[in-house]
Amino acid sequence: MRLDYLTIFPEFFDVLGISLLGKAVDNGIVDIHAHDLRTWTHDRHRTVDDTPCGGGAGMVMKPDPWGEAFDDLLGADPDPSVHVVIPTPSGTPFRQDDAAQLSHADRIVFCCGRYEGIDHRVIDYASEHWSVHELSLGDYVLNGGEVAALAMTEAIVRLVPGVLGNPESLSEESYSQDQEGLLEYPVYTRPASWRGWDVPEVLMSGHHGHIAQWRREQSRELTRRRRPDLLTDE
Would you list which residues are annotated within the binding site?
Answer: 113, 137-142
Is residue 113 near ligand JBZ by the rule CB under 6 A? yes
Task: Kindly provide the b/e burial profile for residues 188-223, where b requires at least 16 CB atoms within 10 angstroms of the residue's own CB.
Answer: eeeeeeeeeeeeeeebeeeeeeebeebbeebbbebb
Is residue 89 near ligand JBZ by the rule CB under 6 A? yes
Distance of CA 166 to the CA centre of its chain: 20
Smaller CB separation from ligand JBZ, 65 or 87: 87
Closest contact distance (angstroms) between CB of 112 and ligand JBZ is 7
175-234 residues in contact with ligand JBZ (CB under 6 A) are none
Is residue 63 near ligand JBZ by the rule CB under 6 A? no
Nearest C-alpha neighbor of 25 from the set 173, 172, 163, 142: 163
Smaller CB separation from ligand JBZ, 127 or 213: 127
Select from 87, 108, 109, 179 the one that contacts ligand JBZ (CB under 6 A).
87
Closest contact distance (angstroms) between CB of 137 and ligand JBZ is 4
Is residue 148 near ligand JBZ by the rule CB under 6 A? yes
Select from 18, 141, 204, 212 the one that contacts ligand JBZ (CB under 6 A).
141
Smaller CB separation from ligand JBZ, 59 or 170: 59
Is residue 133 near ligand JBZ by the rule CB under 6 A? no
Nearest C-alpha neighbor of 179 from the set 207, 218, 208: 218
Positions that interact with ligand JBZ (CB under 6 A): 87-89, 113-115, 117, 136-138, 140-142, 144-145, 148
